[in-house]
Amino acid sequence: MRRSPRGPDSDRVILATGLSWTLMPRFTLDAAYTYTHFRDSDINNRENPAGTYHRLEGEYSGHIHSLGLQANYRF
């Protein structure tokens, strides 16, 4: 599989949780958290654009933390 450093991708593990609070009968607050861990991936690209030789070789990994908050009011 050919990988690009512009949009690296790999196998991943995603963990998520959420809570909801009822503050009043018509008003609630919701919160959510997600953690995404990208497993280590190798990259080894060799290109020959316009007669020049380019090589990109290495390893990358990463993770993302996401937090969401929402307020709900029912009329």
What total of structural domains would you count in the chain? 1
* 56 in any annotated domain: yes
- Entry pTM: 0.69
Residue-wise pLDDT tens digits, 17-48? 999 999 999 999 999 999 999 888 888 777 76
Q: Range of 54's domain?
A: 12-73
Structure confidence at residue 40 (pLDDT): 85
* 61 in any annotated domain: yes
* 5 in any annotated domain: no
Contacts of residue 4, Cβ cutoff 8 Å, sequence gap at least 6: 45
Report the alpha-carbon distance of residue 18 to residue 31 in Å, rounded.
6
* 4 in any annotated domain: no
